[in-house]
Amino acid sequence: MMKKLTAEFVGTFWLVFGGCGSAVLAAAFPELGIGFVGVSLAFGLTVLTMAYAVGGISGGHFNPAVSLGLALGKRFSWGELLPYWVAQLLGSFVAAGTLYMIASGGPDFAAGGFASNGFGELSPGGYSMQAALLIEIVLTAVFLIVILGATSSKAPAGFAPIAIGLALTLIHLISIPVTNTSVNPARSTSVAFYADTAAVPQLWLFWVAPLIGAAIGALIWSYLLDGDDAAADES
């Protein structure tokens, strides 16, 4: 069990450090040219690389919403859900703290939003709370459908991390203007505490929406499977 939790810690650390780091360190300088497309790609690459690196140990969740969805989809033990959440949050907080120490060593450092998520005044495009809630639910649901489908017994073996990484890239391309993209409560929580904004009071949405979305995605995938397919997937 400790190896699984360590893998989740490392994978979530890399997701937050790589994804949020690309926003805080690289996208902050327009002359480097990565923009939100580069940030989107960075998030996708973190999941893709760690899914191949440690996914065989822990399943490669790196996200409390994914763990919940996999439990609802009967791909993950409910007894391991809380320990996975703890490991994911710890990995996220260590990554955010490490990123803050690096970023604060630069000239004229200002934390600003620090890659945090938000709605209203904290939304990159000024989107409302209702818009943020809806897009986070919809995109997390689709993310779970991709994850459950790509790791299904009927899917080609060995390609799941590619599909999942590309899905997360696409999710960011869609929703960075709306919420700065969460679909991951652990990713949202840690960086919010380093932001010079009111990101912490808005954290509730970035827990509620991804967890609801994960549940919806798992239910949709369960409906799409017939009895024989479901039994094969559970095995």
Q: Given this model, what pLDDT does residue 31 score? A: 66
Q: Given this model, what pLDDT does residue 228 score? A: 47
How far apart are alpha carbons 22 and 34 in whole angstroms? 8
pLDDT by residue (tens digit) across 109-127? 888 899 999 999 999 999 9
| Whole-structure pTM value | 0.92
Tell me which residues of the chain have a pLDDT lower than 50. 227-228, 235
How far apart are alpha carbons 104 and 116 in whole angstroms? 16
Contacts of 146 (CB under 8 A, 6+ apart): 163, 164, 167
Q: Given this model, what pLDDT does residue 106 score? A: 86
Q: Given this model, what pLDDT does residue 154 score? A: 81
Q: Given this model, what pLDDT does residue 125 score? A: 96
Contacts of 28 (CB under 8 A, 6+ apart): none
Range of the domain at 174: 2-234
CB atoms within 10 A of CB 56: 10
Q: Given this model, what pLDDT does residue 161 score? A: 95
Q: Given this model, what pLDDT does residue 153 score? A: 82
* CATH number of the domain encompassing residue 209: 1.20.1080.10
Q: Given this model, what pLDDT does residue 233 score? A: 55
CA distances from 31 to 28, 34, 108 (A): 9, 9, 17
CB atoms within 10 A of CB 153: 12
Instruction: Pull the structure tokens for residue 215.
Output: 């549940």
Number of structural domains (the chain) is: 1
Q: Say if residues 174 and 139 touch (Cβ distance below 8 Å).
A: yes
13, burial (CB in 10 Å: exposed 0-12, middle 13-18, buried 19+):
buried
How far apart are alpha carbons 173 and 222 in whole angstroms? 27
How far apart are alpha carbons 33 and 26 in whole angstroms? 8
